[in-house]
Structures are given as C-alpha cells and as structure tokens.
Chain A
C-alpha cells in the first residue's frame, strides 16, 4: 500500500499516530517512518511533475499525482504538502485571469521560473505587434513543437498578461492587445 494512502487528517484513524503540522494542517500516519515516506513521496511527485511542465493548475497537478500513487489524496493533505513546497520556494503560485474575470492560480517550478518570465515577455511583445493572438499561435511562438501541457501553459501565459493589463480576452482561446 502506498505510504501516501496512510496519510490522514484525523488522529482517530490510528491508535498512537505520528503527526506533523504543515501550515494550518496536522497530518497523521501510523508511525514516523510512514509519515516521512508519505510526505516525501507526495512532495517528490509534486516537484517532478511541476519540473516537467512550464505551468500546471492544481487540478492537473493533483490528477498527475493521483495517477502515480493510485490513490485519491485528501484535499487538505495535498494542499498542505503543496504549500510546504511553495513555502520553501521550490514552486511559486502565479495569478491568472479567467474569461469571467475571476482569478485562478497556476504553479511553476523554480527551474521553470526564468523560462516562464522569458516566455511572458515574448508573448507580451508578440501581442503588442500582432494585436491579436490565438493560444495555438502563442504555443508555437514559445514552445515550437506541441507537447502535452504546452497548449495549457500558453493559455496560462496569456491569462497572466490579462492580469497585468497587457492582454484581454476576445474569446476563451483568443487574446488581444487592449491598449
């Protein structure tokens, strides 16, 4: 059984549980070894998947981790471990604007962060010149060849530019330079 499956937020799940607090969440496991193994497995998977992509939403990241562990991680436990990696600066969370105007956040790994900033500048400049940009054009401009996740990351980059006032939505897949 995966050590991740043994993690819980209820102390009553075990007779004499081991525990640790991450942010405001206390996480329990049967013993110290299982606790350490469960947390490091989750942290490693979060890092591995975010390192492999420019950006990921929490939902996608959670789904990738679930595919690897084979278990549905408690939402609070996943959030606490994700927060732990954010706290240590392994990841950063970047606000993006949805078509509705609401904010959502994407996660980028410390090793992807310089590339994220560079791609952001590329698209800002391209949007300024072309005035209108579709997500697939942005994808081609910054990633060249299409791979898993590159379309979504291109959308995130453009959605970040909406946040900073350098882009606006024409529709869910097309952006314009507003100024």
Chain B
C-alpha cells in the first residue's frame, strides 16, 4: 500500500509546501542550464540540478522539478546581443533593474528596446560549454535533410567551406548543384570529446557562414545550436554579438564577431510571438532566493 494512503494528512502538508514553492512557466523547448550545458526542458529528467543565480547574484545550483502543465501556448522569443531564447508568454523574466516582466507584456507593449537584461551564458568551471556529442546530434538531426546513425546531411545555403585538417568529421558535398555538409558521427563524437568548443565552432562556420557579412546565420528554430555556438565562442576566448532582422521580429539569429562584443548587461534587441504553439512546462524549486536561468536570461517566480 502506498504511504500516502496511510498518511493523508502528511500528503496534504506536502502539497501545501509545494504550492508555496516558487514556480515559473516555460516551454518544453526552453533552454535550461545543467552541468552538461544548455539543454531543452523536455530532454531533462525531473527533478534535476539546474544552475541559476542565488540572492547574491552568484551562480548556484538548485534541485528543480519540471512538469508539463498540459497547457499549450504560443512560442515567444526574446533576444539581446548576448542571448536568445524561447519562452512562454507567461514566463516572467527579471530585467537588469531587478523588476519582473512577463514576456507577454514585453511583446505586447513593444517595450523591448527600453529594457536591459543581465545575461549569464556560462558558469565556466561548473558547467560544460557544450553538451555531449549525442545530445548535439539529436538536435542537429531535426534539421538535417537526411540522417542516419552514421551521418547527417546538413543543408547549406552557400557552398560549405571546410579548412583542410580543421574538421575531419565534416565532408562538404554538392548534390544537384546545392551544398550540403556531411557530419560523420564517429569522428564528430571523437572531436567533441577531444576539443568541444573548437570542433563545434568549426562545424558552425562550415555550415552556416555567410562570408560576405562575416557571420553565422542560424534559422530561428536553431536557437539552441546558436546558444551552444555562443558558449563555444566564449569558451575559446572569442567575442561575439547576436543580431536580428529587426526589433519586432526575426527569422534568423546572426552571430558575428567583431569590435563590440556583447556585454553581460545588454538592451533588448528583439522580441515577438510566433504562430506556433507548444506545450508548457512548470518549474518548481524550494529556495525563494534562487532564480533559474533560461537561455541566458534570469527567470523570476510567478
């Protein structure tokens, strides 16, 4: 017999304690920071140790439960020069002056350029800049034109450019006059294990480089690979800056290096809702002085 049947009073107490815990709503696709790096909420078991900020603004971990709410909501995106993430309209972000803002209100009021956000992408010594090769593979498989366990064929808008010897796990291919990049699983796994940041940077540059503008162009659906790319650049002491189509909408995340790298506190550069709807998740954690991070943004309890 289950213990809750014997101790219904204690069950009530547990429920009561849970209802008073801080919670927030995100999407299944929202990115959360684990020791293995940024990953989507739907690919993490619950409860999980997530990284966030404590009351002093220092990076700290906390045990967080993740549960689907059963509800669906439109996908909303928020971007700065440093970070870009997918959120539910009900998600509450903490802006740089410490005030909470619902994403729906930021979008609705068109207030993005008036708000600044503190972004935390990496914890340096406590989390990996990139997840393991298998996790990267799973995400890239969704965008591949063709895939198997051994290789993925990634579509390139332009002819892929692979420096010889730089990335043995990549093979440029031209099929019916259009460019693809073949990613070889075994070699990619070895390269990521050996030098994750350098290998991942080589992949993104060969795959998504727009040489005329000197930047990598990630379609919006590839926001997680873009986030990993930003982390990989930071891990290899390179600077970057994210740019978008406009303040009000973007189909792409443009990642460029350059003279004006993104700062930890940056003004909002883009926010919008999309027609796509997706399942919501609820995060619940026990420490009210701690705040989870999502795609580099600081979440606030609802």
Interface of A toward B, CB cutoff 8 Å: 21-24, 80, 83-84, 86-89, 91-95, 97, 101, 103, 105, 108-110, 113, 162-166, 168-169, 176, 178-179
Contacts and interface: CB of A to CB of B under 8 A. Distances in A.
A84 B276 CA distance: 17
Interface stretch (B57-65, B80-88, B176-184): B176-184
B246 A24 contact: yes
A21 B248 CA distance: 11
Nearest to B175: A178
A93, A94, A101, A165, most chain B CB atoms within 10 A: A165
A88 B178 contact: no
B274 A92 contact: yes
Given A163-B157, A179-B175, A22 B146 contact: no
Contacts of A86: 248-249, 272
Given A162-B178, A164-B155, A166-B145, A83 B246 contact: yes
Interface in B65-81: 74, 76
Given A22-B110, A23-B246, A92-B275, A178 B251 contact: no
Contact of B275 (A23, A101, A113): A113
Nearest to A83: B248
- Of all A-B residue pairs in the complex, the 6 with the closest CB atoms, nearest first, are A165-B155, A89-B273, A165-B145, A83-B248, A86-B249, A178-B176
B301 interface: no
20 contacts: A22-B248, A24-B246, A83-B246, A86-B248, A86-B249, A86-B272, A88-B272, A88-B273, A92-B276, A101-B157, A101-B158, A109-B275, A110-B275, A164-B143, A164-B155, A166-B145, A169-B177, A176-B176, A178-B175, A179-B153
B177 A89 contact: no
Nearest to A109: B275
Given A89-B274, A165-B154, 19 more contacts: A24-B246, A86-B248, A86-B249, A89-B74, A89-B272, A89-B275, A92-B274, A93-B251, A113-B275, A162-B178, A163-B155, A164-B143, A165-B145, A165-B178, A165-B180, A168-B176, A168-B177, A169-B177, A179-B146
B275 A179 contact: no
Interface of A is mostly: mixed
A93 B250 CA distance: 8
Contacts of A178: 145, 175-176, 178
B273 to A, nearest CB: 3
Interface of B: 74, 76, 107-108, 110, 113, 143-146, 153-155, 157-158, 175-178, 180, 219, 245-249, 251-252, 271-276
B176 A105 contact: no
B175 A24 contact: no
Nearest to B113: A24
Contacts of B155: 163-166
A66 B69 CA distance: 45
Contacts of A94: 251
A71 B15 CA distance: 62
Nearest to A113: B275
Given A22-B248, A83-B248, A88 B108 contact: yes
B249 A87 contact: yes
A174 to B, nearest CB: 12
Nearest to B276: A113
Contacts of A23: 110, 246-248
A122 B275 CA distance: 20
B87 to A, nearest CB: 13
A87 B248 contact: yes
Nearest to B210: A103
Contact of A108 (B108, B177, B245, B275): B275
Contacts of A103: 157
Contacts of B275: 89, 91-92, 108-110, 113
A82 B157 CA distance: 26
A168 B157 contact: no
B4 to A, nearest CB: 42
A19 to B, nearest CB: 14
A88 B107 contact: yes
Contacts of B175: 168, 178-179
